[in-house]
Amino acid sequence: MAPQLIPAEAEELSRDALFSILRNERRREVINYLREHEGPVDLRELSEYIAAIENDCEENEVTYKQRKRVQTALYQMHLPKLADQNIVSYDRRAGRVELADGAEDCLPYLDAVTERSRRRWGRWYLLVAVVCAVPVGLAALGVRPFAAVSGLGYAAVVCTAFVALSVAQAVTERGI
């Protein structure tokens, strides 16, 4: 018996339909994962990958419950929606997924900004803010030796730290 693929329409997606599809982070992650892996991938692997992102852990640390929650949502909702728009080919019985021809319409939008990258950089900015705030707060409380540094000195250090972090982000994300 031949695999049962969910039928996909051949017509090009409208911009509104495309944005509606890409509005969901899980669907964006499905497309990103499939473009990094040639050929069909197993639904379980895909689910573990997405569960790891959502739970901020490594794939080997994902629990059964975390993976199953993602897998159920992919199986019941996200993959059929992507298949209906010819973005993925999805064999429900075998649990195999791969990019379809319509995925080409999505790629420019996914290349523009990735959520995963923004979340990582947000953590770095938070870390720099905390590291800079601690000595400034101690100086404001008059704790020595922090109180010995002038406000202008702290301002220079904080500005330099954030400029360096911004440059690192620009170089990493844009390949400058």
Residue 107's pLDDT is what?
Answer: 81
In this predicted structure, the answer to whether residue 63 has a pLDDT above a threshold of 90 is yes
Residue 56's pLDDT is what?
Answer: 83
Token couple for 118: 């923004």
Query: Is the CB of residue 103 less than 8 Å from the CB of residue 34?
Result: yes
Q: What's the rounded mean pLDDT across residues 74-80?
A: 95
Q: Is residue 97 part of a domain?
A: yes
Dist. CA 71–CA 97, nearest whole Å: 12
Residue 9's pLDDT is what?
Answer: 45
Residue 117's pLDDT is what?
Answer: 56
Considering its fold, how many domains does the chain have in total? 2
Residue 170's pLDDT is what?
Answer: 81
In this predicted structure, the answer to whether residue 113 has a pLDDT above a threshold of 60 is no
pTM above 0.95, yes or no: no
Give the domain-ending residue among 90, 112, 134: 112
- Cα 120 to the center of its chain, rounded Å: 9
For 98, phi then psi, to 5°, come to: -150, 160
Q: What average pLDDT does the chain have?
A: 86
Q: Structural domain of residue 127, as residue ranges?
A: 115-174
Q: Tell me how far CA of residue 85 lies from CA of 2, 32, 36, 60, 176, in angstroms.
A: 22, 16, 20, 32, 35
Give the domain-ending residue among 77, 94, 112: 112
Dist. CA 66–CA 14, nearest whole Å: 34
pLDDT band at 71 (very low <50, low <70, confident <90, very high): very high
